[in-house]
Amino acid sequence: MQKSILIIGACGQIGTELTIALREKYGNEAVIASDIREGSDALMASGPFELLDATDYEAIENVVMYYEIEEVYLMAAMLSATAEKFPMRAWNLNMNSLFNVLNLAKDKKIDKIFWPSSIAVFGPNTPKTETPQHTLMEPSTVYGISKQSGERWCEYYFKKFDVDVRSVRYPGLISWKTLPGGGTTDYAVEIFHKALEDKKYTCFLAEGTILPMMFMDDAIRATVSLMEANPEELSIRSSYNLGAMTFGPEEIASNIKAHLPEFEMSYDPDFRQAIADSWPSSIDDNQAKLDWNWKPEFDLEKTTKEMLKNLMN
């Protein structure tokens, strides 16, 4: 059956690739992209687009009614490093946009919501290795606080109003299609661009900073798989842990150096180091594997080859 899908924040790092993937799956006209500004030429040419402020309830409601939207993917957010510079703007965007779509679902104007959480919900007192699905969460960033609050509201709306909302805690994401958008794990994207352009890169995180990461293709596949899962099979309505690979800057540099021997890496940690130090080094995602058969396809070696191949073209 044809679905009618709205993506809010379609021009961001995840939203761009998610929009294209969903259009390939469900048809260009069935997936309405929206953002506060226009996106890439490829995205704009691939199907319908609406200029939309994620914090404007009436504007979202009008688009939902006009296109008879059934599912909303809310990808609009201010990410960790940027949010630390503009805390109240980040809180306003990250929380009010979520309330807007939760309330549309509560009022039965849409059927299903995807909302992304993040490993930023964890804090310095969370177990760092194989971080469990259910554990101590004391986030120390504005972004993490907003995502933890969002998780609680998602579960509340599910239990109180039977809202079908689904979520994953994304690790750091690596993509060659779009530039990073102000996150603490952005070094793992920047490094490939700088390796090809300058043959060197100065990392803003210290050597030995081990973080969970994921290639974008896996992240998109996980997102769509969760949204297609039988609701009866889902045991988590806050947000699922999601894992793929885990590494530090020196490991990704070593993998790049295997392809580009002249590449040199240096380190100059900035304020993002404290954020990274508060996050897990690896994730236990067994619940996602059990509930909806999650399984990553990309490790660091495969990701490195894919990034370099596509950025060289």
Q: What CA–CA distance (Å, rounded) separates 110 from 65?
A: 9
Question: Helices 300-312 and 187-197 sit at what angle, rounded to 10 degrees?
Answer: 50
Q: Look at strands 168-170 and 117-118 and give their pairing.
A: parallel
- Between the CA of residue 144 and those of 91, 94, 135, what are the distances in Å? 10, 10, 15
How far from chain centre, in Å, is Cα 64? 23
- 207, 210, 86, 211: which is closest to 141 by C-alpha? 86
Contact, 283 vs 130, CB < 8 A?
Answer: yes
List for the chain the helix, strand, coil content (%; round to 5): 45, 15, 35
- Among this protein's residues, is 143 annotated catalytic? yes
DSSP string, 113-170: EE--EEGGG--TTS--SSB-SS------SHHHHHHHHHHHHHHHHHHHH--EEE-EEE
Helix, strand, or coil here: 71?
strand
Contact, 83 vs 141, CB < 8 A?
Answer: yes
Q: What CA–CA distance (Å, rounded) separates 183 from 174?
A: 11
Catalytic residue of the set 67, 73, 143, 267: 143
Q: What CA–CA distance (Å, rounded) separates 253 from 265?
A: 7
Catalytic amino acids? Answer: 143
